[in-house]
Amino acid sequence: MLKSKTFVKKTRSGGVLKIVREHYLRDDIWCGSEVCKECKDEAPVLQEDACIESNLCSYPHYLIPDTNVVLHQLDILVDPLIRNVVILQTVLQEVRHRSPTVYKRIKDAIHEKDKHFYTFTNEHHRETFIEREQGESANDRNDRAIRVAAKWYTDHLAKVTDGGPLKVVLLTNDRANKEKAEQCGLIVYRCEEYIKSLIGNPELVDRLALTADDQNEVTGSKLLFPEHLPLSRIQTGIKNGTFLQGTFHANRDNYLEGTVFIHREGADINEVLLRGFQNLNRAVHQDVVAVELLPKEHWVAPSSVVLLDDSPNDEDAEEDETENKLKSEASESSALKPTGRVVGVIKRNWRPFCGMLSQSQIKEATRHLFTPADRRIPRIRIETRQAATLVGQRIMVAIDGWPKNSRYPNGHFVKNLGTAGDKETETEVLLLEHDVPHQPFSQAVLSFLPKMPWSITEEELKVRADLRHLFVCSVDPPGCTDIDDALHCRELENGNLEVGVHIADVSHFIRPGNALDQEAASRGTTVYLCGKRIDMVPELLSSNLCSLRSNVERLAFSCIWEMNHKAEIIKNHFTKSIINSKASLTYAEAQMRIDDTTMNDDITKSLRGLNKLAKILKGRRIDKGALTLSSPEVRFHIDSETHDPIDLQTKELMETNSMVEEFMLLANISVAQKIYDEFSECALLRKHPAPPPSNYDILIKAAKSKDLEIHTDSAKALADSLNNATTESFPYFNTLLRILATRCMMQAVYFCSGMDNDFHHYGLASPIYTHFTSPIRRYSDIIVHRLLAVAINADSTYPDLMDKHKQSALCSNLNYRHKMAQYAQRASVAFHTQLFFKNKGIINEEGFILFVRKNAIIILIPKFGLEGTVFFENKDKPSPHLNFDSEGPTLKVEEHTFHIFDKVKVTISLDASNLQHQRIRMALIEPVIPGVSVPVPESEPVAKKPKLDR
């Protein structure tokens, strides 16, 4: 049966367009139930025995949730207890339109066989399709469609079971919808009513999201925040320039401050500072908000005060005292920033947050405060009856809303992750908090892996360069199993050198568009944590078939240059190849071979040739202005049995690290030029923007404190002045400057060549750059391999590869994933550092001041690559006299003045008083300041060192 929908649409030019859409109605859409013999469904989803223990429904029943229940109570629906649910097409369409995240989660639940969720296509069923009546809103029409489908199910099941016990229960939180459904004779309950009726499942009740009515009940009557403006007024304000739209970033160190990054291209103002509760107006980190600028006389400078919201009470506390502390700061007029207030929220970016419960002091209370692990997220008030069990556990909580008369947002419990401090739990938390996809690979993904045993086919041998005879070797960190790259160097008959960089041919195994490719694109990168690796591709590829292990034949993509002995490139070519690596070496093993004059085998000769050329290449890069920066990286020695860190040291870099790096850079630059020459509009490249001059202020001030000058007009000027900035009395000074220079840099990003015209890589001083050399662990490199393969006619193209808009969207995801992977890695190092200090008691160490703040100094301990803060304001004792000078910057504490890079001595210990935010606590020993510094603790006996798992 054919229906047609007709509607008119106004065109841009002001004309009217009539649109007719055909809508087919069918008789062969089945109910999906095992009990039904009338429907000819070969694979029914809904069970005959649909029993769940309930005080309200003692009979077997199927659930039909309306749209709002799916949107707001999804944490309930995805619980393993809830099964046999009919998801109507009307509901699915509305959810898809209103929340892509919820839509994806409900689709995943539908695909989960154990859940028995069935999609009923009611909009195309002859007996359940309804037309919108005159004067009826789209929302009311959809509510009626849901009631009609529920009525059809009720009648259909009664008919096929001869009035048997199986029923249909409609779940809705809409009063009007509930009343109308009852008038139709349907069994209908509010979601909360139904969940509370389930026997022996208190955890499910905690997962109920608060509805708007509940939220008003929970909060007080006192108005704490200004009303948010309606969306229509916000849009008008943005159009006429009264308001600015941007993304809100909360300040990690000061909960009363945040910044809105403005979205509009070419806007005069890129950032707006927000300060104080009223001006933040319930914005949560990453929300898209509308802001109104305050008059210039109310503009302020970013605060140097460190403020953490850790007050123990769960009342709507007065914040006046804290806000006054911020207002009392004197601001230099040059440091003033455009300041504003939030007038409305355009898009909430809420997700489930990990953290811990702060149990209410009131006996038998059910309302408690939840403290997120991420300090940028406000505390959340939740209702739970299992607080006693959840104390000391890491849990997940979702925000439901933030009323204008509540100090905190309201939310609901989602999931218990495990005991706080437990290694597995904490790893899970940091992966969730940094949005790192870490679920096991699905069957759909694994189905695209090659069948084992795998071997190179005759066809491949015919179309690839056979390089198995070459003395190729790989050089990697110890314990590396995902070996992306291998190298070779040999002398040619004409006296020149042939150098080859051979990269795992991952794109041979991952074909465009399949489930394996989509999963790798979504993950974007492999994430390396301490003692754990979350692979971008399944292990069969990452550690076996793609890994260029020694003494096995592997498919590679080779970049081969002919060079003279001055490392000048005479010619280069790219080819798909087959290699057989002759050795998998660590950096230390390769270094030992180069240094050992008694060794003269082919691999060692190759390494010496590579090392010699690498030194020339590096010298040339540095002459062009490439930066040599520094960061204090640490390596843990892990106990082989307990997997706890038992020793911690900064990573030592050798010549061989630099050797491998030089040839990877050369390969990346050569490939970048090749793919850009061939595909000027859709090459995936990587750029590193030059930092704005203001970024260097702190670096210039730090050098000035030692009467040295830093020039930042160009990368070359910066590199030269860093090389010259040395003081004989302070050898570590130059390293500290380079660490500080690293902090001034911008983030390097992927981009599509057709969408940008600035290609320059500032840090490498290269006009063009990309990533080609690590396709096992970076998806960007897989795309670059595909582009290069098309360029040399080694593979065929596909539409998305040549679409610059698709490439650009992919780059955005890759940039996000890389950034989050970096943060997750840092969090993992921080957690393992805490584990290390947990068993050490108090340690005394020398360090250097990296930053001077208004009420604190931030110290770097070179021995451990560790940063920590010494606070000079303590709630428990009177504060010393502090005088902060932003020009220096210097901080005078009593009679002593602290400068950047001053040498200090501190005690280091683990402060576990806050179980969630355990932190390394530092206290000043030297210089001795009466009432501020602490006495030198007595050194503890050194425990016998356990064996190291190297």
pLDDT single digits (tens) 6-62: 767 777 777 888 777 777 888 888 998 988 888 887 888 898 888 888 888 889 999
- Residue 791, SS3? helix
Yes or no: say if 491 and 503 are a contact pair by the CB < 8 Å rule: no
pLDDT at residue 946 greater than cutoff 60: no
Residue that wins the pLDDT comparison between 289 and 636? 289
Residue in the structure block whose two tokens are 């040339």: 620
pLDDT given for residue 939 in this prediction: 53
The closest of 882, 877, 827, 906 to 374, measured between CA atoms, is 827
Cis peptide before 409 (omega within 30 of 0): no
C-alpha to C-alpha distance for 244 and 262, rounded to whole angstroms: 7
Contacts of 272 (CB under 8 A, 6+ apart): 244, 246, 259, 260, 262, 291, 293, 337, 338, 339, 340
Q: What percent of the chain has pLDDT over 90?
A: 41
Q: What percent of the chain has pLDDT over 70?
A: 90
Which segments of 742-865 are extended strands (E)?
Answer: 749-752, 843-852, 856-861
Residue that wins the pLDDT comparison between 821 and 213? 821
Tokens in use for 543? 């550690």
Residue that wins the pLDDT comparison between 203 and 718? 718
Looking at 384-465, list the stretches that DSSP marks H as alpha helix, in order from N- to C-terminal side: 387-390, 423-433, 443-446, 458-463
pLDDT given for residue 2 in this prediction: 63
Give a three-class secondary structure readout of 605-630.
HHHHHHHHHHHHHHHHHHHHCCCCCC
Yes or no: say if 460 and 475 are a contact pair by the CB < 8 Å rule: no
- Per DSSP, 123 falls in state G
Instruction: Report pLDDT digits (tens) over 598-634.
Output: 998 999 999 999 999 999 999 998 888 888 776 655 5
Tokens in use for 705? 């404190």
Confidence of residue 306 (pLDDT cuts 50, 70, 90): low
pLDDT at residue 753 greater than cutoff 90: yes
pLDDT given for residue 941 in this prediction: 43
| CB environment 285-312: b (16+ within 10 A), e (fewer) | bbbbbbbbbbeeeebbbbbbbbbeeeee
pLDDT at residue 204 greater than cutoff 90: no
pLDDT given for residue 949 in this prediction: 35
pLDDT given for residue 241 in this prediction: 86
Which long-range contacts does 437-440 make (Cβ < 8 Å, 24+ apart)? 437/522, 437/523, 437/534, 438/527, 438/534
Confidence of residue 948 (pLDDT cuts 50, 70, 90): very low
Looking at 679-757, list the stretches that DSSP marks H as alpha helix, in order from N- to C-terminal side: 697-704, 715-724, 733-744
C-alpha to C-alpha distance for 366 and 849, rounded to whole angstroms: 46
pLDDT at residue 482 greater than cutoff 60: yes
Residue that wins the pLDDT comparison between 272 and 830? 272
The helix (H) or strand (E) run that includes residue 828 is helix 804-838
Instruction: Report pLDDT digits (tens) over 755-794.
Output: 988 898 988 889 999 999 999 999 999 999 999 999 999 8
Which segments of 25-94 are extended strands (E)?
Answer: 61-65, 85-88
Q: Which of 50-54, 429-433, 880-884, 918-922 has the highest mean pLDDT?
A: 429-433
The closest of 432, 444, 518 to 111, measured between CA atoms, is 444
Instruction: Report pLDDT digits (tens) over 637-649.
Output: 555 444 555 555 5
pLDDT given for residue 308 in this prediction: 66
The model carries a pTM of 0.79
pLDDT given for residue 92 in this prediction: 94
pLDDT given for residue 325 in this prediction: 53
Handedness of CA 527, 528, 534, 538 (dihedral sign): positive
pLDDT given for residue 465 in this prediction: 93
* Burial (CB count <10 Å: 0-12, 13-18, 19+), residue 500: buried
Please, what is the average pLDDT of the chain? Answer: 85
* Burial (CB count <10 Å: 0-12, 13-18, 19+), residue 793: exposed
CA dihedral in degrees (926, 928, 934, 938; nearest 10)? Answer: 60
Strands 532-534 and 117-120: unpaired
pLDDT at residue 284 greater than cutoff 80: yes
